[in-house]
Structure formats: structure tokens, C-alpha cells
Amino acid sequence: MPVKASVPQPVSNMPWKEPCRRRPRKAAYNTFNANHLGYLNGRPLPAAPARPMTASVLDHRLPLFTLGLNHASAPLAVRERVAFAAEHLQHALGELTRRQPAKEAAILSTCNRTELYCVDGQPRQALEWLSDYHRLSARELHDHVYALAADESVRHAFRVASGLDSMVLGEPQILGQMKDAVRSAEAAGTLGSTLHKLFQRSFAVAKEVRSNTEIGANVVSMAAAAVKLAMRIFPGFSDQRVLFIGAGDMIELCATHFCAQHPRAVAFANRTPERADHLAQRFEGEALPLARLPEFLHQYDIVVSSTASSLPIIGKGIMERTIRARRHRPVFMVDLAVPRDIEPEVAALDDVFLYTVDDLAELVREGVDARQSAVEQAEAIIEMQVGSFMHWMAARDNVPLIKALRETAEDTRKAEVERAVKLLARGDDPHAVLEALSHGLTNKLLHGPTQALNRGEEDDSLRQLVTRLFHLDRR
């Protein structure tokens, strides 16, 4: 049975402000299907409709495929169970390529998605590896994952890089996250020429999309949405104290938005004191040791957390003591981490308003309709670039054949030249030697095609191929 979503709902016992309620999640899109197609952003890709999963799809070895799950296919309760910590990515990639076995692999793991990009491998093996690595059963993930092959995999990578498959349409942060994934794969030695080309082309497509469309205009970021939600609890921030837990890019972005509202005080708690000190100086706040979080948590009205911790750092017990120390004054909490920094049970406490990345999705969807024309322009750019990349892949598949053909011709040339040199050294007539050289080359290079045609087989395709290869139709 698939894992059921257990995203907490905000608790309201405050008559003056009712927190935003989430609409029911759209049905998770279908998983593996006969054409390796998937659904993105709750709508099908421009291709045939999805079909029921078949074993042949899972077991078929593919030259390029993407297997993963994202915010549209899986709830937060599932996504956080398959997230990869940045410091474990290189080890995971090495294990994946050994077990898959895939010739190349890259892992993109963010709060909204976990995706495996593989070259020359089987989706079923990738799914089994992903399940085993995170100590889950493949059945638990089965209804939440998607597998995309060939042009669909390429199209998906381009859409992700361009911000078309993000919870926040057009958000630029995913581009940096993809570049981090590439660096990790490169460091692990699992980034080969195909994935290198795919990601570099993805970055170029994203740049073209952002330069030539308005896809990034009026983007409502997670940070801005968090501020908007907080203002439903607190009409103003002049009397509120804000605590940021973590010191990454997301926390820095959130601090920028919250500090623009001029809160009474801000503080940063992080495992690495230097980074917390840097942000505290920039935003005129205070740096606090994360280890002492239970001691000072009750002092803050707004808590925003986004760390890379694999386990929650704020549990129900800590928050119960915090609420008592606050004399039941409300506290607004935003957990932007995957896996979550704050235990889901905290949402059930009175006077606590807890929101996760999925809870913020409703606000960040505002303005999407106004940018629909930009989306259509972006999709057109991507379609053109997908065709270009698939042409490159097809040409690349012929490289070994081209190399073998040239090596055979070179061996023939060398043999004829050596024979001619010996004849010249013996004193034979140079003109006669050159004639023999040219006839020898011609006969040996045309021996294969001539022999095939002389077999007497009535094969129109062979005749057409020889005519096209040697431009005989132009004579």
C-alpha cells in the first residue's frame, strides 16, 4: 500500500485570524507507463495519455532515463523519506552505479523532488536501489514515482531547469540545485559525457527561457509566502521576534523578506557558528548556538527552519515546554526542510501555527495564470531544444561505427602505401606504382558493397542505401 500523506493542518484557536487552509491535493499522477510518459504539474506532458504500468517498461534497459518523485506525485511525508543529504550524495552515487549498474548517474534531491538521472540502466533496478537505500519497500514508492525515457527524460530535465516543474513556477533556485547535483556526480566520478551534455544543455535552455520569456516575472517565492502567512497571524512585525534556524540560501532569502518588515529582533541559530555570525551581522541580529535551542526558543514569536538535518530538531516535547514558557502566546512556525526539522505532531498543539513547504504551495500558485503565455513560449523553446539534443544522441550512437569504418579504411590505406613504397624502392616505374596504388585502394574499399550487391538478393533498401551513400543518383 502506498504511504499516506500525513501533512499537518494548521491549528487555529485564535478568533482574530484564521490561517490559510489547504485545498485537497491533486491526485498523484500515474507512474511507469508503456510509453515512459509522465505527468508534470498535475497535467500530462504533450504526448499520449498515460497507460497502466507494465513490467516491460521497468525491465527494459534504457540508454537514458529519469526515475523519481516530486511535489506533484508524492506528499511531503513520502518525499522526506527518500531525500539525500548533500554530504551523502557521492557515496550514494557510487553505490548506485555499482548496483544498477548504470554507466552514468546523477541525483537531484531538493525539498520538492528526488530524481535519479541514469545512462544505460533499468528503471526497476533504480527503483529497488532507491527503496533499499532508504530502507523502504519498492511497493511504498511504487504509486508515487515516475519513469521517463529518451526524449521525455530530456524534456523533463529542461523543464526542471527552467522552473516549469517547480512548486513555485519560474523560481530560479532549482538551477543552482541542479548545478550542485552535477558537481556531486562529477566528484563521485559518475558524470559521463551523456549526462554532462544533458545538464549543460539544460542550463543553456534555462538561460534562454529566462532571457526570452517572462516566466520569472512576479514570482512569489516560498520566503514571500511565509511572510504573507505570518501576517495573517500577526498584523505587523514591530513587536515580534524572529528566529531563523539554519544558514543556507533559503534562510538567507527568508531573512531578507522578514527583515524588510522591520521585526523587533532577529536571531540565527546554526551548527556552524561562522555562518550564523555572518547572517547576524548582515541583518543586524544575534547569532545563537543551535545546541542551546530549547533554552531560548520560547523568546521568539516566529520561527523559520531550514537545515540539512536528517532528523527533526524541534520535537513536540520541546514545543510543549516552549508554549508553557510563553504563557500560551501564539507562535508561527515555518518548516522549509525536507526531511522536516519540526515534528508533525507539533501542529496539533494549541497556539502553534505550523506550516510546511506543501502548505505554502497555495500562495505561491498565485499569478500563474497571468504568466500562461510565458509558459507557452518556454514550452516551445524546450520542444525545439529537445529535438536538437535527441539528434545529438542519435549521432553519438553512431560514433563507434564511424570510428570502426575509418580505422578499417586507414588500415587499408597504410597497407597499400607500404606496398607502393617497396615497389618504388625496388626501382619500379613511379607512374605504374601510383596506378597500382589507386586501383588497390579502390578495389579494397569497394569490395564490401560490391560483394553485397553481387549476392543477387533483391533488396531495394540495400540498393537505395548504396545509391545514397555514394551519391550515385547525381551521376
Same domain, 246 and 354: yes
Where do the H-state alpha helices sit in 46-101? 55-59, 76-79, 89-99
Q: With respect to residue 150, please indicate whether it lies within any of the assigned structural domains.
A: yes
Does residue 76 lie in a domain region?
A: yes
Does residue 241 sit in the same domain as residue 379?
Answer: no
Tell me the CATH number at 341: 3.40.50.720
Residue numbers annotated as active site: 111
Peptide bond into 8 cis (omega under 30): no
What is the SS3 assignment for 243? strand
Per-residue 3-state assignment (H helix, E strand, C coil) for the chain? CCCCCCCCCCCCCCCCCCCCCCCCCCCCCCCCCCCCCCEECCEECCCCCCCCCCHHHHHCCEEEEEEEEECCCCCHHHHCCCCCCHHHHHHHHHHHHHHCCCCEEEEEECCCEEEEEEEEECHHHHHHHHHHHCCCCHHHHHCCCEEEEHHHHHHHHHHHHHCCCCCCCCCCHHHHHHHHHHHHHHHHCCCCHHHHHHHHHHHHHHHHHHHHCCCCCCCCCHHHHHHHHHHHHCCCCCCCEEEEECCCHHHHHHHHHHHCCCCCEEEEEECCHHHHHHHHHHCCCEEEEHHHHHHHHHHCCEEEECCCCCCCCECHHHHHHHHHHCCCCCEEEEECCCCCCECHHHHHCCCEEEEECCCCHHHHCCCCHHHHHHHHHHHHHHHHHHHHHHHHHHHHHCHHHHHHHHHHHHHHHHHHHHHHHHHHHHCCCHHHHHHHHHHHHHHHHHHHHHHHHHCCCCCHHHHHHHHHHCCHHHC
Q: Is residue 26 part of a domain?
A: no
Considering the domain boundaries, does residue 372 fall inside one? yes
232/469 Cα distance (integer angstroms): 72
Tell me whether residue 2 is in a domain: no
- 210 and 230 part of one domain: no
Residues forming beta bridges with residue 314, ordered by sequence position? 342
SS3 content of the chain, % helix, strand, coil (to 5): 50, 15, 35
292 and 150 part of one domain = no
In a domain, 179, yes or no: yes
Domain range for 421: 406-474
Q: What pLDDT was estimated at residue 360?
A: 85
Secondary element (H or E) of residue 324: helix 316-325
296 and 326, same domain (yes or no) = yes
Prediction pTM value: 0.69
The answer to whether residues 192 and 109 belong to one domain is: yes
What pLDDT does 220 receive? 66
Comparing CA positions, the residue from 269, 296, 272, 307 lying closest to residue 285 is 269
Q: CATH number of the domain at 157, please.
A: 3.30.460.30
Question: CB-side exposure of 84: number of CA atoms within 13 Å?
Answer: 26
Looking at the structure, do residues 249 and 301 belong to the same domain, yes or no?
Answer: yes
Task: Give residue 189's identity as a one-letter amino acid code.
Answer: G
Residues 205 and 250 in one domain: no
Please indicate, yes or no, if residue 10 is contained in any of the structural domains: no
Do 121 and 254 reside in the same domain of the chain? no
The grid coordinates of residue 158 equal 529542461
Which residues sit opposite 116 in a β-bridge? 67, 107
Are residues 105 and 58 located together in one domain of the fold? Answer: yes
Answer whether residue 7 is part of any domain: no
Cell numbers that stand for 43 in this block:
497535467
**Number of domains forming the structure of the chain:** 3
Residues 379 and 359 in one domain: no
- In the chain (475 residues long), the average pLDDT of successive 10-residue segments reads 34 32 31 31 32 54 92 92 93 89 91 94 92 91 90 94 88 90 96 95 94 76 86 89 93 92 95 93 94 95 94 95 93 94 95 91 65 84 91 78 82 88 89 89 85 73 80 74
Say if residue 138 is in the same domain as residue 212. Answer: yes
